[in-house]
Structure 1
């Protein structure tokens, strides 16, 4: 059973009238650390889900003091939308469960707990709740929509839609074979294309062939926005990967947006493309 703890007392002033409150959720006896960005505007409350190996603030944005999700959260707050961003267990500050034990399933549990925390928060009250998932966070968001079909809206940014294809390319055949053959609690070491060395237990690999985020979100009744990059070399080919979500759903309220960007919104060259993604997302969340 998921148990949701209380918010930490710390409240930090960020920019203007926006404030950020650090929170701690208890999920399966482990802590999930998050940041709740306050806004008193009329918009929906938004859950932000980070990607594979990421953290709740996400990547730094060149030429700014921002990170992808801190910039996202600030602009959401300015548009009247409070937000919660979390470190999945094993990531960022949520380290009571070690990284190698993370799986799609544990991250989905964390996301469900976060939505339940938001629904119980007195400042959110009767607001609608939406979710934004980036990359593997998009896979998690798709499964979250199946678990919590009362979510008002779902935004998938460069989402993992075919895990076996995307992770097979990311890990390579030898690592995938070793991971699939390993016992659930046996760590498998590997080096990612950008040089990061790490381990994941066999349990992570075992979920890859059976995970179906497109099937999970197919029956979600609310609208879905999918934003993909024409130059994404991690989730490829695009826009076909993104279009697969719309094809499975057949929902006239869904939207696919193709942008001239890479998997990380071109943030290594500056904030311009990220700001376009944020503006597109906020307009869509506002019903524009």
Structure 2
């Protein structure tokens, strides 16, 4: 079965437009999901909407949206009033400008979508817009409406189609200074930095997402399989994390280098062996002379 489009509308660059479809580029459907059951009956749990004060169940037609202006005080907003604030770009992605991709902070990147032409009628117009964006070597910014909310969306060529990524608004991004400003400045010794850099270099590689493994997901599937087969479920023994007492020592061990203690012990052992051999040879000469 072909995937169902999440959104259908038009892509427009100035006076050029074409019909398009958007499909989510990521999905979590494949993850293990649990339902809540009644332990006694094994039946699914159903949630109902109730009045917070009376406890009575409320019918869907009697539920209205409300905005809390102060503690316990709400402004009720009817569906037709919400329709009054609908914006023009409901079924249109208008390209407003082009910006360098490197200027878009990753913090603003949100949800990815695949964008494809909807039918053959606008195929050439789609190709023109796609190739124009590609030739510019920049990212197009437009606006799109999902479920009555307007989002800024970035567009860039990807294969034969386009990839769109919705962007967060500035008010949705928290300021890093609120979290980082209290981190004290720490001077890192040169030898520590060199060891840490060495560790980084030994772990350097290339981005290969096909090598990623969701260990928790695998463990869940194994648990379900064992339950189906009637096998007992044993809780694994918890491993206590290693206590880092000496940072330099930990870095040396991580880098696969000998610690000072080991080198001292090695020198002591070697010295002891040499002394023993020398003593043995001296005793042998003494016996021979006697």
> What TM-score do you get using the length of structure 1 for normalisation?
0.19
Larger Rg: 2
> What TM-score do you get using the length of structure 2 for normalisation?
0.19
